[in-house]
Structure 1
Amino acid sequence: MALFLTLENIYKLYNIDPSQKTEGIVILHQRNHPEKGYTNHSRLFDGLLLGFMLQGSMKAQIHFLEHEVKAGDIAVLQPQLMIDTKFLSEDAEIVTIGISSDFITSFPVLREFIMNNQIRWQPIIRLQHEEIKLQNELITLIQSFYHKKQSLRKPEMLQHLVITLICMISEAYSGLADNKNLTKNRTHEIIDDFYILISKYATQQRSVKFYAKKLHLTPQYLSTFLKQKTGKSVLQWIDHTVILHAKTLLKSSNLSIKQISNELHFEETSLFCRYFKRITGVSPGAFRNG
């Protein structure tokens, strides 16, 4: 399943009690269920995602590169970064905190944090051993406040607790200053620029030539480069992004399939249906009902 997550649709997609809704923040506490079987799961969130691996492990592709996340690790996903979960251990337990873009823009320290290029290419971090206990206690406290009954100051209290947690993570990244040159090579620049383009244009432009021209590269070079560096060609990344949006609209909205087809700039609904089935193996209607 692939999902484009926002604070507006996440409650429906994950069956979260809407009474828990708190402005700017959502929290998920998830445990793997081996008896249900595991399926590859792609997500893209329009804000900041913090994933805390409490136990077990997972393998995930984050912003084109594969990472292993172990118990005690923190996965930091800046806004609009795609994560594809490839594997979850049977004992996997994860707490995820989602923070909206509006929340982020209200606090200068958060704006600086999400603009850090180092985080994009090193999204997995671990606090110092002596701070992991504080981190876990803070996560428990944040969850307790999140689930407490609504009150006038609840959002404000949650905000301060979450900012404290992010400051701890930011401090851990500052200790990796010697590795900042990791983000400055040409390979990363091309991938970053391409990702910005498909995030903006994938639902409107599905031509390799369009992206190659924007990046001042030949179509053949761009496709070969992305295939070598990320495992997917330009067309595969475009398809991946379009299907991400299509599946989210099918699951989280009441738009008709024709309306979704129009939203994704297909000339005819039949073209969208064939496109969707060719890539996913099922029709849009079957996916929505399933």
Structure 2
Amino acid sequence: MEKNKLQNLNLSDIEKDSDIDFIDNDFAIFSDIKDVPLFEYPSRIDLCVFCIPLTGYARVGINLKDYYFKKNDLALIMPRQIIQLYEKSDDFAGIFFALSNDFMNEIAVNLEKKLSIFLYIKDNPHTTLSDQEVLSIMEYHSFLWEKVKDKENDYRKEIAKNLLRALVFEVYSIFDSHLPVKRFQSRREELFESFLILVSENFQKERSVSFYAERLFLTPKHLSRVVREASGRSASEWIDEQVILEAKVRLKSSLFTVQEIADKLRFPNQSFFGKYFKQHTGMSPSEYRKK
């Protein structure tokens, strides 16, 4: 693994498992994760993963927060999130779908295009389903698996795409029903959505509000007002959250020195990075690493 990169989990990591069926390197469907290389240290996921445990339990870290998944819990883990498996029971099994970013784009479904759901799932990556909702998704799982296994069918990928498109909207609908307030997306929220996407793509090298404002053809003052009105938080706070999360993940890995992390996040020196980290967490990078 390249020294300055976090370990990533993608479909190529699980391709050798005979109990998992694939369509190219785009989609995987399975019912057991015993052979999936979920790492003991934080790793970035390059996939969109839907999971419903039917037996057993698992305790998983998502963006360094602990979540406990049990029977009938629906988990939706989004691309670029940080995951870590802390523990699971021997009988942990259920319904699993994994889609590459490219495949998500091919089926024309982008969670970040639905801001209210994106923000909700970001802080609530799991929800508990009714028995009827579980049954509905189990039917998709069964039918999809049957079609994926049919390798003689020249149209199996197109069939899978359309079934998955329907499944994704079923899942969106479930999460949408849990939103505290339903309302139409305003222009302000559209700008906020665009800002979040830009931050997720550029935070490792750009931390200034002016950079994002320029990309959105706004003044920094206007962008700051829009972001605060849409989210109750400043643009700088959203940028800092991404930077600090990345720093924490790298500090929890023994692969990187503090200097290397400072360099990767484009800080002028280790001392400046240390002050920035302490300002936002209340502890130095070394203290956090020892936690």
TM-score norm. by structure 1 comes to 0.61
- Opposite residue 138 of structure 2, the aligned amino acid is N
Deviation at 1:179, TM superposition (A): 7.1
Aligned positions of 1:61-140 closer than 5 A: 61-112=61-112, 116-140=118-142
Aligned positions of 1:141-220 closer than 5 A: 141-178=143-180, 185=233, 190-195=240-245, 206-208=260-262, 211=265, 213=267, 219-220=274-275
Q: What is the aligned-residue RMSD (CA, Å)?
A: 4.2
Task: Assess if the C-alpha contact under 8 Å between 1:27 and 1:96 holds in 2.
Answer: yes
- Find the residue that maps to 1:152 and give its secondary structure: coil
Give the number of the structure with larger relative contact order, counting CA–CA contacts within 8 Å between residues 6 or more apart: 1
Change (3 A) 1:39 1:111: closer
- Find the residue that maps to 2:54 and give its secondary structure: strand
Aligned positions of 1:29-40 closer than 5 A: 29-30=31-32, 40=40
- Find the residue that maps to 1:71 and give its secondary structure: coil
**Counterpart for residue 27 of structure 2:** 25
- Find the residue that maps to 2:153 and give its secondary structure: coil
- Opposite residue 90 of structure 2, the aligned amino acid is E
What is the aligned-residue identity percentage?
15
- Opposite residue 76 of structure 1, the aligned amino acid is L
Deviation at 1:227, TM superposition (A): 7.5
Whole-angstrom CA distance in 2 between matches of 1:100 and 1:52: 19
Change (3 A) 1:221 1:194: closer
Task: Assess if the C-alpha contact under 8 Å between 2:21 and 2:149 holds in 1.
Answer: no
Whole-angstrom CA distance in 2 between matches of 1:18 and 1:94: 13
- Opposite residue 277 of structure 2, the aligned amino acid is L
Deviation at 1:156, TM superposition (A): 1.1
- Find the residue that maps to 2:24 and give its secondary structure: coil
- Find the residue that maps to 1:131 and give its secondary structure: helix
Instruction: Structure 2: state its 5+ residue gaps.
Output: 1-5, 183-228
Deviation at 1:195, TM superposition (A): 4.2
Q: How many residues align?
A: 224
Task: Assess if the C-alpha contact under 8 Å between 2:107 and 2:164 holds in 1.
Answer: no
> In the TM superposition, what whole-angstrom CA distance separates every residue of 1:190-248 from its partner, at most 9, and x where no partner exists?
33344468999x9897243764859xx862352474487xxx948978xxxxxxxxxxx
- 1:222 is aligned to 2:272: no
**Counterpart for residue 191 of structure 2:** none
